[in-house]
Structure 1
Amino acid sequence: MSLQEPVAGFAVAVVREDGKWRCDSMGADALRELDSAITELRKLRSTGAVFGMLAVDDEFFLLIRPSPAGMALLLSDAAAALDYDVAADALDLLRVDPPDEEDDELWPEGSLDILADLGLPAPELQVITAEVDLYPDQQLQMIAQRCGFAGEFNTLLDRIQQ
């Protein structure tokens, strides 16, 4: 296994069980390899919702939600696949070609309704991904706020970023 440059950012596993939210830090590999993030999320057994929130290098975010039917994903910026393996892996899994190098437009790719059952309908998530003036961690905080676990999310971020 080759040594890879560490990727800045954070990966958070979010679990909702018995009406309570829990946020846990995921391993650093989750920011580099989609398979690592998926494996880690699948290990979290829960009767409720389980999903991952990755903020990568102040550039983009990725939502990952395992389900019996497969894997739901939302990549906030498809162009990130040109520079980041985890984003390229996400487009691969979604069976979407990466954009051209010349294409500088930002658009999300994947399931905008990934968190609809948790209180975040697709049109609202579309608005959050379109907020190009916000960093990915700020966008994820908006998502956490909208779904109702901002307190748990912010507490974990404070611990991670110390």
Structure 2
Amino acid sequence: MTTTELDFALAAYAEDGVWTVTPLVLRGEPDLSALVSSLRRYPGETGVLGLISVDEDFFVLLRVVGGRARLLMSDVTAATEWPLARQVLDELDIPLAEDDDDQVPAGDLAIVADLGMSAMDLGALIDDVDLYPEEMLEEVAEALGFGTQFQEAIEAIG
């Protein structure tokens, strides 16, 4: 996977209650450790979110708070094709099920529950097979209060 196969990679963080969303600058093939490292440089009262969409296929939602990274991936089957998805499963210690065709999430569904989107709502959103990863992440951004900033960052990437 190369950065050209990324739909986008964004960082979102709040300071004094105001959200900022900015594109992540990545070089070469994005990997999980590089994403986590790049997110650690941003401030944020409640940590920083990484919103990554890959080839209109799946998304990864990261939340870095202090030294800890929490992870959610929208579709475990993506790990059969995408190295980043495989790295997420490895980090979560979830075995790769090569014969599984079901689109199921992996990781922490409560990753943003304290910010305004419950695990149940996030799970229901991911279950909507009619939505693209970008649309799912847009709904997450709206629920957390930075939908406008999310849209502006997407348009800037353009």
CA–CA distance in 1 between the matches of 2:128 and 2:93?
25
- 1:97–1:30 distance in 2 versus 1, CA, 3 Å: farther
In the alignment, what sits opposite 1:81?
A: 79
Q: Which moved more, 1:19-28 or 1:47-56?
A: 47-56
CA–CA distance in 1 between the matches of 2:69 and 2:56?
24
In the alignment, what sits opposite 2:131?
A: 134
Structure 2 residue runs without a partner (length 5+): none
Partner letter of residue 113 of structure 1?
A: A
Instruction: Give 1:132 shift.
Output: 0.9
Q: CA RMSD in A?
A: 1.8
CA–CA distance in 2 between the matches of 1:30 and 1:53?
18
Partner letter of residue 47 of structure 2?
A: A
TM-score, normalised relative to structure 2: 0.93
Secondary structure of residue in 1 paired with 2:4: coil
In the alignment, what sits opposite 1:150?
A: 147
Correspondences of 1:118-133 after superposition (within 5 Å):
118-133=115-130
Structure 1 residue runs without a partner (length 5+): none
Instruction: Give 1:57 shift.
Output: 0.4
* Residues 73 and 90, structure 1, Cα contact 8 Å, conserved in 2: yes
Count of paired positions: 158
TM-score, normalised relative to structure 1: 0.91
Q: Which moved more, 1:26-35 or 1:77-86?
A: 26-35
* Residues 29 and 37, structure 1, Cα contact 8 Å, conserved in 2: no
Instruction: Give 1:26 shift.
Output: 0.6
* Residues 31 and 84, structure 2, Cα contact 8 Å, conserved in 1: yes
Deviations 1:114-155 (A, max 9, x none): 000110000000011111111100000110111110010001
In the alignment, what sits opposite 2:111?
A: 114
Correspondences of 1:24-103 after superposition (within 5 Å):
24-29=22-27, 32-68=30-66, 70-100=68-98, 102-103=99-100
Secondary structure of residue in 2 paired with 1:103: coil
User: What is the identity percentage for the equivalent residue pairs of Structure 1 and Structure 2?
Assistant: 32
